[in-house]
Amino acid sequence: MRVYLAGPEVFLPDALEIAAAKKRICAAHGLEGVFPFDTPPQAPPAERPYWMRIYLGNEAHIRSCGGLIANLTPFRGPSADAGTVFELGFMRALGRPVMGYSNAAAAFLDRSRDFLGAEARPREDGGWEDAEAMGLEDFGLADNLMIDGGIAAAGGAFERTEAAAGRRWHDLQAFERCCARLAALVGKAG
């Protein structure tokens, strides 16, 4: 089965090396990894702007895949990369299995409090809010409940690990656990 490999690794200088490593792990679990940089199944119209061709290529990739594994490691803030989250929601709506992983083990509430620092303040009901009085989610989840919920609704798993310093974008242990779980889920369904 083709599996879309969503994640912010596309922004790294060694994105292609990470893609190759992920594809090898996929293959070991009987899956075919599809990276955003791969040639899309349908070529986007040449007259569209460059960024829109990337968008349309990614959308075509996702539609061509039977499942998705998202790298949901926090990216420039307490939550996952926005592009990855968009793709996760997209695949969930297609009704196909999605898995997620994060190389930061802390719960979303703790990461949100860390991010806000002194701006996080306790509410009278025991919860937390930011300087604009906006509440902090406190469900013991890995990220915003729409992310954890979408994965759970699709029968997937959200694997968390604490990567060693400097290995945040290269540790593939939690990714491999996602591959194993996805292969088991698909095998059970097939």
Chain residues that interact with its own copies, rule: CB under 8 A: 8, 11-13, 49-52, 54-56, 58-59, 76-83, 85-94, 112, 115-116, 130, 132-137, 139, 141, 143-150, 152-153, 168-169
- Residue 4 C-beta: closest distance to its own copies, Å: 12
Structural tokens at position 97: 């299995």
Cβ-based nearer residue to its own copies, 23 or 113 = 113
- Residue 134 C-beta: closest distance to its own copies, Å: 4
Cβ-based nearer residue to its own copies, 13 or 190 = 13
Cβ-based nearer residue to its own copies, 31 or 154 = 154
Cβ-based nearer residue to its own copies, 25 or 136 = 136
- Residue 24 C-beta: closest distance to its own copies, Å: 23
The region, left, alpha or beta by phi > 0 then psi within -120 to 50, assigned to residue 62 is alpha
User: Does residue 35 contact residue 23 with C-beta atoms inside 8 Å?
Assistant: yes
